[in-house]
Chain A
């Protein structure tokens, strides 16, 4: 009897627990809930967190995320307006603003993500195809790049020679505006799913594998040209220095020659003046100088091998003829 009572109470309690368990539910801070009855949504979505009640058994809880969700598109190759194949990787942030609509149209997130794939994918293609690559790469229109001082003279001296090293390609719109175009076009289309697109941004933009070798070739040729420039600048500067060397050397040597000759000339002139003032003081002095200087030169100009023919009339040998040659 006791056991039967106990069993009865237990059974009632068990049923009560089941009913209770099926009629209360919790809503997390990060989610909102749609209650469905036999698969059909009932009442307003529950958007506040906490402990909630529902009709047991027949109603079902469908939690839907309330947070900002991410969408990360797979990278896909597409051509730009200038026919360059690039690989574009986009990400977007979105949230579910109309859970009922969302629930009716999409049911779960996987289908939402795939809708976003479709819509954003095609809008991206459209936008990319309408713009040149540089419009998607650059953002700030009037940015003036820093110049590498080592490469600076390369840039400056290359005016009009088709070398645009250190220069940015000019743009009209820029990345932000292109992003906004995609965003605007896509935001309208996703509205019907109860989704709000918060923003989209380009995550990665890269050259397609088939384009890359050409880009690399261009970069290589650009670098080579700079390298050649350096070499030729080096050689040119070296030649200039060698020229300076020869010029300076000649200048120094010729200056030395000039000064030396000048000094020597002045010295000779001075000496001449001194000699002249001494020897030219009177006719007698002139005559005496001639005589003494001639005498002084004899020992020098008459050597051993000289043959000399002398007359007995000469002053030296006149006495060979007699003591007084003057008297005959």
Chain B
């Protein structure tokens, strides 16, 4: 097999793939036959160089046959047995025997193992050569449906569902699955806006990619069943990331601005409501006071007036004089004049008044 695709070592590592070297086998078989001949013909030939050689050859052959006649299939796998290259049977886990010396060939396929392929990143220490990302950066770069760019990382979980198809239908099922996965993911991302890809549409993308990958893997008869597609990090390209952050920040500061304005509002308005109630209550108090006082005044007046009516003249005088008696002593300068003595200076203490004014 001349190409670089020579698959004598597959990912499962246990398939001596190319047809067994027939010449070798035949020679070995021939040798065996020959040695039997020799053994029969010269069994008691003690010193023959040939005899000893044949004996060694036979021993070697037996050892080789025994060594290549059994194999174990791990519990998570099955073995596909080919006789002279032709498919013979599928073998369950356990210890098994086969025809030795390249006649039968068993390939172990891990059908029960959950396999995965990573795109855009690679878990270190993976033994499956198809698992990790190849050319990390380029694998993740995608163009979205609004002609923006995004970096997408994802994982495909799959199992080998049909070992015979897996081995015989497609030459590089693992590699082909990677191609399919990349192609489908770009197709799905290409139908979406950058906002959908980065934030809101993730789940939808996973579902649609899974469906499309399953369709293709069925169509391609790879013997693989895809269980899950999981998106990992999805980012805008590095130079753009900052501006995406700016949007987030702006979103935050929008909230902040609104909240601050609300704070101001809340600081003032309930207080004003309270003050309003306060003033209304105060006015109510004024009302009560005013009315009660008016009623009090009226009652008092009425009472007084009733008595006044009985002796108006005397009461009038009494009130007048009482008032004057109350008022007069407080007045410091009083002038008393008589109409008949109009030329006379009033009785006035000028000094006292001047002193007080200073």
**A residues touching B (Cβ–Cβ < 8 Å)?**
2-3, 5-6, 9-10, 13-14, 16-17, 20-22, 24-31, 48-51, 63, 65, 67-70, 72, 75, 91, 93, 108-110, 113, 133-134, 137-140, 143, 145-151, 164-169, 175, 201-207, 212-213, 215-216, 218-220, 222-224, 226-231, 233-235, 237-242, 244-245, 248-249, 252-253, 255-257, 259-261, 263-264, 266-268, 270-272, 274-275, 277-279, 281, 284-285, 288-289, 291-292, 295-296, 298-299, 302-313, 315-317, 320-321
Contact = CB atoms under 8 A, between A and B. Distances in A.
Interface stretch (B67-75, B79-87, B121-129): B79-87
Contacts of A238: 257-258, 260-261
A215 B22 contact: no
B331 A306 contact: yes
Given A143-B191, A201-B183, A264-B287, 15 more contacts: A14-B30, A17-B33, A29-B82, A49-B87, A69-B5, A69-B171, A72-B179, A137-B190, A145-B192, A148-B200, A203-B182, A219-B149, A252-B272, A284-B309, A309-B337
A223 B298 contact: no
12 contacts: A9-B38, A13-B33, A24-B22, A93-B170, A145-B196, A168-B191, A216-B237, A234-B256, A260-B282, A267-B287, A270-B291, A312-B336
Nearest to A272: B294
B63 interface: no
B87 A9 contact: no
B244 to A, nearest CB: 6
Contacts of A68: 169-171, 176, 220-221
Contact of B239 (A16, A145, A216, A229): A216
Contacts of B297: 274-275, 278
B1 A63 contact: yes
Nearest to B51: A6
Contact of B283 (A28, A215, A244, A260): A260
A109 B4 CA distance: 9
Contacts, number: 427
A304 B331 contact: yes
Nearest to B334: A308
B193 to A, nearest CB: 5
B273 A252 contact: yes
B251 interface: yes
Nearest to A229: B250
B14 interface: no
Contacts of B286: 263-264, 267
A25 to B, nearest CB: 6
B358 interface: no
A4 B192 CA distance: 86
Contacts of A268: 290
Nearest to A250: B272
Contact of B41 (A6, A235, A289, A298): A6
A150 B248 CA distance: 10
A309 to B, nearest CB: 4
Nearest to B243: A223
Given A21-B26, A93-B176, A275-B294, A203 B183 contact: yes
Interface in B168-193: 168-172, 175-176, 179-180, 182-183, 186-187, 190-193
B162 interface: no
Contacts of B194: 219
A51 B84 CA distance: 5
A273 B245 CA distance: 74
A221 to B, nearest CB: 8
The secondary structure that dominates the A interface is helix
B26 A166 contact: no
Contact of B269 (A65, A70, A133, A248): A248
Best-surrounded residue of B33, B45, B280 (most CB of chain A within 10 A): B280
Contacts of A313: 338-339
Contact of B298 (A169, A278, A291, A296): A278
Interface string B26-66: 11011101100110011001001010000000000000000
A264 B330 contact: no
Contact of B141 (A204, A255, A259): A204
B346 interface: yes
Interface residues of B, number: 142
Interface in B116-156: 138-139, 141-149
B269 to A, nearest CB: 5
Interface string B246-276: 1101110111111011101100110011011
B12 interface: no
Interface stretch (B89-97, B226-234, B313-321): B313-321
Given A148-B199, A298-B327, A316-B321, A270 B85 contact: no
A234 B309 CA distance: 79
Contacts of B215: none
A110 B335 contact: no
A272 to B, nearest CB: 8
A202 B276 contact: no
Contact of A292 (B176, B257, B319): B319
Contacts of A91: 179, 183
Given A109-B3, A169-B146, A305 B332 contact: yes
A241 B143 contact: no
B22 A21 contact: yes
Contacts of B1: 63
Contact of B50 (A10, A30, A167, A220): A10
Contacts of B244: 223
Contacts of A49: 82, 84-87
A3 B48 contact: yes
